[in-house]
Amino acid sequence: MKALQFSVTIPQWVALKALGLATKKLFYTGPLATVKLSEIPEPALPSGEWVKIKTLLCGFCASDLNLLLLRDSPSASPFTSFPCTIGHEICGEIVETGPDVKELTVGDVVTIFPQLSCAARGIDPPCRACRTGRVGNCENFAEGALPPGMFNGICRDVGGGFGEYFVAHQSQVFIIPEELSHEEGALIEPFSVGVQAVTDNRPQRGDQVLIIGGGVIGTMIVKTIRALDIDCRITVSEPSAFQAELIKKAGADEVISDGDLFSHTVGITGAKRYKPLIGPDILMGGFNRIFDVVGNSKTLNQALRSLAVEGVLSIVGIGHDVKLDLTPLWLKLQTIRGVFACGYTGAYGEEKHIFQVAIDLVKEKKVEIKDMATHTFRIEDFDRMIEVNLDKARNRAVKTMVSFR
């Protein structure tokens, strides 16, 4: 079968970090490329609790782009195994089930929660994170019956959505209702990230909310807040005019596009601005809740300085090493939360996986996500898809997908 696979060695990493400054093409074309289209065998079911799925559509995530451009921190490398077939935003059709699979049948159209937690790894008793329902933050991503890998797409033996077939444990699989399109099925994973972020840092009535970064996940956070009918004011900081246009349609009240976050924070929230002897200004007052979908040193420092007393900052963007001035943290009694993957929650009336919450919101037409899917490619044209993602504004691209239909 055809599959887009990622692999890297230390000499390759060193060479690309130097030569890749001249052109990013070296990361995905030529002898040093980190991703290659290959012919590989179909993956086998690891146990009777697994299913094989034929990929219909798979979204290309910003994390996929960061992976192949070697932008990720090496700290995550123990939880990845090479070569791996990338892709985790998937809609597919079950073509084979193991003898111990329950409630899933051949022909079901499904999406998958991609994280490979204790259940998928055959680990019993499960770790503390899995016992408490935060299965997306399992402590055993490098343990058990599978090779290291946090999720489908960076685990060597299970495959990912940029291959014609992959395998998933029954605990990962969610049936897509007939009312939903394949595009919506593939968008459930990024939408779930937004739902989990908002669930963990839920705005209250009258709150001032700031989202830094108006890309796919930033837009999904806006859509989630509006789908949950939370009466709060949403401001988004996003320099791209194209992204700003889309996020206004999604329900943002205001978009900051000139980069002057502090001045706008004063005007929107009534915060007071103070000038230190040296260094950037600091604000007293500000936004009650901030979601930083970029996650670099600049945005995180701005977020802390723009966050109110007892405000909560959710770090959604996966950045590299950062340098922070923690003065606002202690001065304003702030809370910083990490955001990664999804789990179970009782916040919506009964214990549910966030994936099911997301599916229900789309099925009940409380939110529109299909409009996020703008471009579809064949797997053979993966290089063109990468180039479109390197300049989304010029290509008016939001979510690009690979189709095996």
DSSP string for residues in 232-294:
-EEEEE---HHHHHHHHHHT-SEEE-SS-HHHHHHHHH--EEE--SSSS-EEES-EEEEEESS
Q: What is the pLDDT of residue 21?
A: 87
Q: What is the pLDDT of residue 73?
A: 84
Name residue 93's beta-bridge partners.
54, 109
Query: What token pair was written down for 299?
Result: 């945005």
Residues 6+ apart with CB under 8 A from 198: 221, 224, 225, 228
User: Splitting the chain (405 residues) into consecutive groups of 10 residues, what average pLDDT does each group show?
Assistant: 96 94 94 97 97 98 95 90 97 98 97 98 98 97 97 97 98 97 98 98 97 96 97 96 93 96 97 96 97 96 98 91 94 96 94 97 97 97 97 95 96
Q: What is the pLDDT of residue 319?
A: 76
Name residue 122's beta-bridge partners.
none
Q: What is the pLDDT of residue 321?
A: 83
Q: What is the pLDDT of residue 74?
A: 86
Q: How many CB atoms lie within 10 A of CB 370?
A: 13
> What is the model's pTM?
0.96
Which is it for the CA torsion 362, 364, 367, 372, positive or negative? Answer: positive
Length of the chain: 405
Name residue 282's beta-bridge partners.
274
Domains of the chain: 2-175+369-403 (3.90.180.10), 193-338 (3.40.50.720)
- The one-letter amino acid code at 13 reads W
